[in-house]
Structure 1
């Protein structure tokens, strides 16, 4: 392992992975030294230097391969801030259409080209997650929507994904690091594991009410042991005004959370005089399901796999000028693209 930026093929050959490494994800240091780049960028740098062209000034533009919400700008800039470059970019959370320029970089390509792979990957993945979150939030409207997707991705990128969801419009996130990176408190109450371990939903609800801080919402799962409607009324009868809400997360083996189930739970709570108890739904949600369920009185949604499994928005970097002269590969238009929404950021 080295803390020196990889600049030559010898550097790559001498780069060693620590034996006995427990986790295979790249560390911050490995990303920053270029260990996650494609090897051909190292070859490019070495060839340019041997041809005495390492100082060639270029203008590169990164454009989106599809429409969506841009995220990852801030993280990408952190890779460039120590380089002698000028950068223009869109703001995090901006809406883009296909082929819109997301970022423009001016400087010596041999200086920042090593980060092309990482920057494109950061922007592509984060923008895909942010876009999926925006679709869900638009379906929710004013109803709160939380991101519960951390369990569906590698832990190294879980906080990146949940932060991107917040950029896209999610109201909260369950991943501790993801939420804190965006300046929010992580959201969530208790899992089925606690209820199964204790053996009774009501006992867990009482313990949660007793032991958790006052600012922690009293929202309890009701699908673990008994009929959801029966369990919801049972908890509301016991906790009364202390119960903020119940969460429906019925297993797919039991049909999942259906419109009929939501209607029944809402009706039985109201009939028992518990109109104040909100209904929170999670499990396999999509924008279409959210729209279907929100009209039935659902007060909040937790979305996981729709966000975490979103397709990345491909990003491409093109060289558009070399030493002040417009240039481009065939099929692309030479010269800087007219992009009035770009702002100077570095």
Structure 2
């Protein structure tokens, strides 16, 4: 039987090297499961170890449109066999549905953006008119299965939106569900992403949005370089562009004792989510709005270099601890 190790399930090899370095630094044996193809012998037992699923909601944008379904099959097999899975089936379903995230956050008492989910495109223009009460007021769209800011656009009038829906530029959601959401204006030009590992707060990241006019520029919209309604977002988890060093910084005044952080910690524990980045915005009208849960969180290198604790190494340490507890691995096995 193979030596127990941490198995990391994902579909994007470009993001893994910094995590591989973190696992090596913590002395935790790790192996990738690249879920772009492969197979499962359903009569076999999974290899011993702890499995961390980091399946991305945006996998279809990299030509891996079936990876989400491969993950569903793999995670179910692992869970039925009794393997410990971090980010298991229930977390995957949350990751790929902003509707599910919104519902859970609202039910837990968080202030969330007013949102309408529209199925298909036939009624999309009428739904927008209903959402705005027929008024030309700003609103945004996003895709239910998001990541990378998919479908995130600002519209200032219904005519502008109608023209977009009818144009070749219309970006159809992969699952057919478009979200209409109220436009929020930040009190200051940034949003905050609170990172949690093993259910514990790691640090909060201040994401500067002053480079553009789109006030609700979420961190998932900043995972790739792109322009969204005039806002240029940099790439967390990769080298920042020249002059963008201050786009992502540690927000030191947000600590583990912060009331919202404590509320989020309890929420994640209740939902059995061990690793996540949760995004919120403090608005001009005094609200603190929570709007996104990222269960395949990335870490910005500038933040990692300046933060008192590393998010990547916290993950490696946490999963290594689970591995030791599960298999009573001797330190010598961590080489």
Q: Same fold (TM over 0.5)?
A: no
TM-score, L = length of structure 2: 0.26
TM-score, L = length of structure 1: 0.25
Q: Which has the higher contact order (CA 8 A, sep 6+)?
A: 1
Whichever structure has more helix as a proportion of its residues is 1
